[in-house]
């Protein structure tokens, strides 16, 4: 077993396929040892705000996240200590009351739109991925997903996309592509990129000098 866990960052726009790539890697290592940390679960707690106020939040800005807590939790996992991971409720736009107890593992995947935006996060990562999918495909996927899974209407999705999702993507997410070691076109469908990642992770895990 490696001394220091391997930390992989998986960034990219909303609905680019980050979760799909994460799941594909998870499937390979799940019996071995892998933990997934979703940046979305670290949205700031808005329990003190009314539902109407929560609708005004810009969920695509870096300041919407409790990045301090996210960094603290990754440090804790790297030190091979457990964490209580928050749970997020997209319908209520705030943290759920429960947490998930997460044991430390050999592979830590940190997945989320803006995980390459903060230098402190980037510095913790051994491998940085950016999932790159065209904006037209992403908005179609988002429309389908958010109506089905996140309690949204067509009108609210279009309004949010034009006012915050698109401009914040261009301002904060797209520029982080430059920090990626690997740019993955088409996300979960890119079997070659996923195989390469799996091979690289195995190599790091097997390397004695990984301390
Ligand atoms: N290649 C694909 N073709 C069609 N739909 C996809 C594809 N990849 C992902 N999706 C769908 O798009 C939505 C977002 O995908 P996901 O992997 O969760 O992206 P992200 O984590 O980047 O938001 C999901 O509903 C998923 O089923
Ligand atoms: N209460 C919230 C919180 C987040 N969002 C949107 O989620 C997107 C990020 O999740 P992905 O799985 O798509 O990467 C982001 O674009 C936020 O706008 C939300 O709508 N409501």
CA-168 nearest atom, ligand 2? 16
Residues 6+ apart with CB under 8 A from 87: 41, 95, 96, 98, 99, 100
For ligand 2, residues with CB inside 6 Å are 14-15, 40, 43, 59-60, 90, 93, 113, 165
Residue 105's Cβ-side half-sphere holds a number of Cα atoms within 13 Å equal to 19
Count up the domains in the chain and report the number. Answer: 1
Is the model's pLDDT at 100 over the cut of 70?
A: yes
Q: What angle do CA 185, 186, 190 make, to 5 degrees?
A: 85
Report, as an integer, the average pLDDT of 72-83. Answer: 97
Q: Are 166 and 138 in contact (CB under 8 A)?
A: no
Quote the ipTM score. Answer: 0.98
**Percent of the chain residues topping a pLDDT of 70:** 97
pLDDT at position 208, please? 47
Report, as an integer, the average pLDDT of 165-174. Answer: 98
* Span 33-72, pLDDT tens digits: 899 999 999 999 999 999 999 999 999 999 999 999 999 9
Asked if residue 13 is part of any domain, the answer here is yes
Asked if residue 36 is part of any domain, the answer here is yes
* Span 184-201, pLDDT tens digits: 998 778 899 999 999 988
Q: Give dist(CA 39, CA 28) in Å, integer.
A: 22
Is the model's pLDDT at 88 over the cut of 70?
A: yes
Asked if residue 170 is part of any domain, the answer here is yes
Q: Residue 149 belongs to a domain with what CATH number?
A: 3.40.50.300
Asked if residue 209 is part of any domain, the answer here is no
20 marked ligand binding residue: no
Is the model's pLDDT at 118 over the cut of 60?
A: yes
Q: Give dist(CA 36, CA 107) in Å, integer.
A: 8
Asked if residue 157 is part of any domain, the answer here is yes
Is the model's pLDDT at 135 over the cut of 50?
A: yes
- Considering only residues 143 and 31, tell me which one the structure prediction assigns the higher pLDDT: 143
Q: Whose CA is nearest to atom 18 of ligand 1?
A: 19
Could you list the residue range(s) of the whole structural domain that residue 138 is in?
Answer: 6-203
Residue with tokens 């990129």: 193
Which tokens in the block code for residue 180?
Answer: 């990626």
Asked if residue 208 is part of any domain, the answer here is no
pLDDT at position 5, please? 93
Ligand 1 centroid distance, CA of 209 (Å):
36
Backbone angles phi, psi at 171, to 5 degrees: -80, -40
Ligand 2 centroid distance, CA of 15 (Å):
9
Asked if residue 137 is part of any domain, the answer here is yes
């Amino acid at each position: 077993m490696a001394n220091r866990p391997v930390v992989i960052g998986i960034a990219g726009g909303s609905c680019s396929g980050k979760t799909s790539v994460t799941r594909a890697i998870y499937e390979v290592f799940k019996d071995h040892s892998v933990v997934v940390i979703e940046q979305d679960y670290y949205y700031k707690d808005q329990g003190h705000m009314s539902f109407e106020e929560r609708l005004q939040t810009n969920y695509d800005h870096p300041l919407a996240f409790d990045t301090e807590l996210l960094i603290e939790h990754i440090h804790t996992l790297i030190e091979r200590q457990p964490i209580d991971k928050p749970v997020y409720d997209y319908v209520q736009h705030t943290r759920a009351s429960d947490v998930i107890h997460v044991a430390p593992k050999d592979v830590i995947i940190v997945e989320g739109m803006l995980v390459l935006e903060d230098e402190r996060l980037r510095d913790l990562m051994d491998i940085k991925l950016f999932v790159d999918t065209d904006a037209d495909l992403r908005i179609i996927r988002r429309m389908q997903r958010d109506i089905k899974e996140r309690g949204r209407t067509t009108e609210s999705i279009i309004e949010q996309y034009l006012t915050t999702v698109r401009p914040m993507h261009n301002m904060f997410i797209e520029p982080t592509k430059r920090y990626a070691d690997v740019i993955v076109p088409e996300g979960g469908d890119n079997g070659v990129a996923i195989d390469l990642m799996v091979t690289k992770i195995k190599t790091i895990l097997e390397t004695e000098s990984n301390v």
